[in-house]
A and B are shown apart, each in its own frame.
Chain A
Amino acid sequence: MEEKGFWERLQEIYEAFVFVYGFVLLIIYGLFAMLSSSSIRKFLRKNSYVDYNEIIDSPLAPNISVIAPAFNEGVTIIGNVRSLLTLRYSKFEVIIVNDGSTDDTLEKLIKEFSLIKVDFAYNERIRTEPIKSVFKSTDSAFNNLVVVDKENGGSKADASNAGINASAYPYYLCTDVDCILAKDTLLKLIKPFLDKERRVIATGATLRIVNSCKIDQGELVEVIPPKKLLPRFQELEYVRSFVLGRMAWSRINGLLIVSGGLGLFDKEVAIRAGGYDHKSFAEDIDMITRMREYMYDNKLDHVVEYIPDSECWTEGPSTLKVYSRQRTRWGKGLIQYMFNHRKFFFNPRYGRAGLLTYPYFFFFEWLAPFIEFFGILLYIYLISTNKIN
């Protein structure tokens, strides 16, 4: 029998590796499906009798700050802020952080909501770019609106941190000002904080694509699936990611990401973890990882929860140019994240997040593009050498 050469042997090993890799990934997806299904059933059973109005009526319900950074959002800002102000909850404030907009965002806000500058004692618990002024409305209808005007920090993270510093309440909802939230978002997201015996440090919910939906004055009138191909693919990707992946990770308390578009956080833990990293390209996953790191390092029991309800609608890229920019940012963010939090890698100190979630991200999110790229190269090589049977 002819002895196999080095390259042939290497090719065999690589093929076996790719087979095992794909096989393991499929098994993981199978497990995700089971865990996610169990998580969703548990959620539905648990909440089938819940009357969310009890939270609205109760004096025991915690207060929430809604933080929405805005940069050059002049076209849509008024409708979006009005939409945030009409969320259903008993006691909440809406903090709009104007992150040094160069358009008329601030002027529009001042005019529409009768804002005036106030002497606000800004407590800089997290370092941010300087605050220029803080505005409050003289119209009592908008007395829960705070507008923070600051120097541009070059990132959403810096603006979010300024919002956290200006917030008065123990929980904050982080969103984008152009995201459209369901009216019951605060009620649904605060519920996991209330019904767990363990300390919940963050809750997330499903995001959807708004592109073809009917909107009126910042309000979602009708949900319609995206008509264009790219946003439609992204909608599918969101369903896979949110309903399958995150629900499954949440089931085993291994979740390491809550979307930047929508997440409710324990403010104290977020501040102690140092707030959002303004240098990060993926500040959402980075934030949760640092919050978890803080909790694990201090041996504090905690959970990160996810709910399977669609609570937030966001614009998906509809052109290849924007799509490519988004993917490049996500890719850069993932590489940066994997490097910054490398101490999580198979580290039992960080529980399931260290033993399962982080390694999963490493092998099946970070490594996947490389494997796919080598797969294409190998495929071309096999075709060109007539080795495909």
Chain B
Amino acid sequence: MYLLNIFETWWNEFNNSFYNFSPTLYNNFASFPFFIQLSILFIAIAFFTTVVTYLRLAIRRAVGYYKELRKQQYTPIIEQLISDATIMNEELHSGMQVEDIKLDKHVVAFEKELPIKRKYIRQIVIDDMMHYKKIFFGDAVLLLKQLFIDLNLQKDALAKLHAFNWERRVKGLRELARMEVTVQDVNILPLTNSRNYFLRMQARSCYIRISKNEPFKFFDILKEPLTKWDQIDLFEIISTTPNLNIPNFSRWINYSANNSLVSFCLKLAVYFNQQDAIPSIIELLKTKDHNLRAEAIITLGQLQADEVEDMLCDMYNNEPQICQVAILKMLGLTASKKHTDFLAKQLQYSSEYDIKLTAARSLIAHNEATKNLLDDLMQHTSGLTQAILKHSLNPLIKY
């Protein structure tokens, strides 16, 4: 009823406005039955929306086309100027050290050949430089970065960080990160916890690359969970950025309340083979989160922490299946030969496929040490256990 009342009020107002707009047209309209009136109105709205949508599309395409034309006009000049200052730099080719090369005359050339003060030209230069940063290597990269700073382009990128539009902020962050321009933490750190996912993620990637002080400082203030994609992205940056000051990740494994961050730090501890982190990871075995505990167990295996094997075997029976599988996997990763009987027992007597398969694979991971045991098991088992043994021993079946 309420909705009907609203509709009735709106309909009366519409009729009044229509009458005031054109009495003749309204009288024609009013002579139709109600359903036809409603249909006409609906058709008019649909027609108007379609026209507006197409117009908008046409305008956007026209603007894009115009920008592309403008870019095409300046790109060859910009490419030549960048090339002269970097890969074709005469001083570099004469054997001068890159630190001693001054780019003043190249900056002058930019000012002479291009209306470099104009914002859109500066943006084209930035875009081109970002492209070349990806494909250049060696001294040319250092010169490119120097040119970027000498042309004061980092100010344009920094200004974007304060824009209202988050997409512009992301653009600014990308430009700074790609050109590896060092900036004050205060400019980026607050953005690493932004409510906007894209901005937050870009700020984190950027922070690791260009933070002046501690590149992992934002881990301390991380509130939002790290998605798997965040982890892949950060892992790629951390593992490929040269001269990165790598901290001891046990700091967050121990104290962070953010489980996704702890999980990520476990992966980093393995990647950087941080044996110092083992005590913190052992402490993590007390967590109530099964998935995280399973991850910690496997991490211990990857770090070859065979001193915890006894403790894990004692824990085994009280653990959920995901952690039991992790313990069996861990014993295979360390392959310390101390718990082959334990593995054989799980293979023989468990009724769970995943447990049997993991136990078999961990036994096989011991190589020669378990050869006789495996032969013996093959002879004295049958059914699923034997099928899993054959499956695991077949070199063509990898998983």
**A binding-site residues for B, Cβ under 8 Å:** 16, 19, 23, 26, 30, 45-46, 49, 54-55, 57-62, 93, 116, 118-121, 123, 136-138, 143, 168-169, 191, 193-197
Contact = CB atoms under 8 A, between A and B. Distances in A.
Contacts of A49: 170, 174, 202
Given A57-B236, A121-B388, A194-B232, A138 B198 contact: no
Contacts of B231: 60
Interface string B255-274: 00000000000010000000
Interface stretch (B74-82, B309-317, B391-399): B391-399
A197 B232 CA distance: 14
Interface of B: 35, 38-39, 42, 46, 49, 167, 170, 174, 198, 202, 224-225, 227-233, 235-236, 267, 353, 357, 384, 387-388, 390-392, 394, 396-399
B236 A121 contact: no
A59 B270 CA distance: 12
B227 A194 contact: yes
B227 A54 contact: no
Contacts of A197: 224-225, 227
Contact of B228 (A26, A60, A123, A137): A60
Contact of A191 (B174, B229, B390): B229
User: Which residue, A46, A137, A193, A197, has most C-beta atoms of chain B within 10 A?
Assistant: A197
Contacts of B230: 195
A123 B353 contact: yes
Contacts of A19: 35, 39
Contacts of B39: 19, 23
Given A45-B198, A49-B202, A195-B228, A143 B233 contact: no
29 contacts: A19-B35, A19-B39, A23-B39, A23-B42, A26-B42, A26-B46, A49-B174, A49-B202, A54-B233, A55-B232, A57-B236, A58-B235, A59-B235, A116-B396, A119-B387, A119-B390, A119-B394, A120-B391, A120-B397, A121-B353, A121-B384, A121-B392, A136-B394, A136-B397, A138-B396, A168-B399, A193-B228, A195-B228, A197-B224
A121 B357 contact: yes
A384 B41 CA distance: 31
Contacts, number: 77
Given A121-B387, A193-B228, A197-B224, 19 more contacts: A16-B35, A54-B236, A55-B232, A58-B232, A58-B235, A60-B228, A60-B231, A60-B267, A61-B232, A116-B396, A118-B391, A119-B391, A119-B394, A120-B394, A121-B357, A121-B390, A136-B397, A195-B227, A195-B228
Nearest to B399: A168
User: Which residue, B170, B225, B233, has most C-beta atoms of chain A within 10 A?
Assistant: B233
A309 B198 CA distance: 20
How would you classify the secondary structure of chain B's contact residues: helix, strand, loop or mixed? Answer: helix
Nearest to B385: A121
A196 B197 CA distance: 10
A196 B224 CA distance: 12
Contacts of A193: 228
B101 to A, nearest CB: 31
Nearest to A54: B236
B201 to A, nearest CB: 9
A193 B232 CA distance: 12
A65 to B, nearest CB: 10
Contacts of B236: 54, 57-58
Contact of B396 (A23, A26, A143): A143
Nearest to A26: B42
A60 B198 contact: no
A87 to B, nearest CB: 18
A23 B38 contact: yes
Nearest to B228: A194
B333 to A, nearest CB: 15
A96 to B, nearest CB: 16
